[in-house]
Amino acid sequence: MKKTKQKILKIASKLFSESSFSDVSMQKIAQKLGITKPALYHHFKSKKEIYFEVLNESFERLKKEIEKRISLVMSKEEILSKTIEGYLEFCLKEKNLIRLLHLKPPRKEAKMKGNLEKIKRQINCFFQEKLKRVSKNPEFIHYLLAALEGIAMKVKNSSKKKLNAKKIASQITKAYFVIQSE
């Protein structure tokens, strides 16, 4: 049963990242999987449940990736650089998290909007915690995440550009510490 759920989430993740939330139906997910809609409902009670499970799984992978990268570094510069590098590489590899977080839910879906905001806050809190040795300013981390999302989305949408996450991370880190020393 666990393998089936994972397969459902993988297919749903791909569909959500290619289309809007509204354009993906339980029927479409079931068809892609080669199963019936009732079989899909056996595993998930709604499309929203699948959607948020996809987002939560992506966030868990992001946390593991960042934690792995910064677990052995000591300096503030390394922590910031490895966090930025990991986030950018993750965004390019796992496009779903960023894309899905920025989908506009239907207007009557207040609960869905609330759940999206909750996940965004969790991401922000995670980065606040990981970067607290670098900066005590929560606004810095908020703006950093916004800038990194913009970079990742721009590169993702352009087939000609290849992102050098390490170089960008190094440049942002250097700029941050130059500004801090002024």
The answer, yes or no, to whether residue 175 has pLDDT greater than 70, is yes
Residue 60 dihedral angles phi and psi, to the nearest 5°: -65, -40
Task: Give per-residue pLDDT as tens, 7-65.
Answer: 999 999 888 877 777 789 999 999 999 999 999 999 999 998 998 898 888 889 889 98
CB 91 within 8 A of CB 152: yes
Residue 149 near residue 87, CB atoms below 8 Å? no
The secondary structure of residue 16, as a DSSP letter, is H
Predicted confidence band of residue 155 (pLDDT cuts 50, 70, 90): low
- Report d(CA 101, CA 122) in Å as an integer: 12
Q: Cα–Cα distance between 147 and 153 in angstroms, integer?
A: 10
Look at residue 55 in the predicted model and tell me its pLDDT.
Answer: 85
Residue in 40, 54, 42 with CA at minimum distance from that of residue 9 = 54
Q: Is 164 left (phi over 0), alpha (psi -120 to 50) or beta?
A: beta
The mean per-residue pLDDT over the stretch 132-161 comes to 78
Do residues 69 and 83 touch, judged by C-beta distance below 8 A?
yes
Domain ranges of the chain: 54-181
Q: What is the pLDDT of residues 70-95, one digit of tens each?
A: 998 889 999 999 999 988 888 877 76
Which ranges in 76-109 belong to alpha helices (H)?
76-93, 95-101
DSSP state of 90: H
Q: Please list, in sequence order, all residues whose beta carbon lies within 8 angstroms of the beta carbon of residue 108, skipping any fewer than 6 positions away.
A: none
Distance CA 126, CA 177 (A): 21
Predicted pLDDT of residue 105: 64
Of 149, 142, 145, 97, whose CA–CA distance to 119 is shortest?
97
Mean per-residue pLDDT, 152-181: 80
- Between residues 81 and 96, which one has the greater pLDDT? 81
SS3 163: coil
The fold of the 54-181 domain, in CATH, is: Tetracycline Repressor; domain 2 (1.10.357)
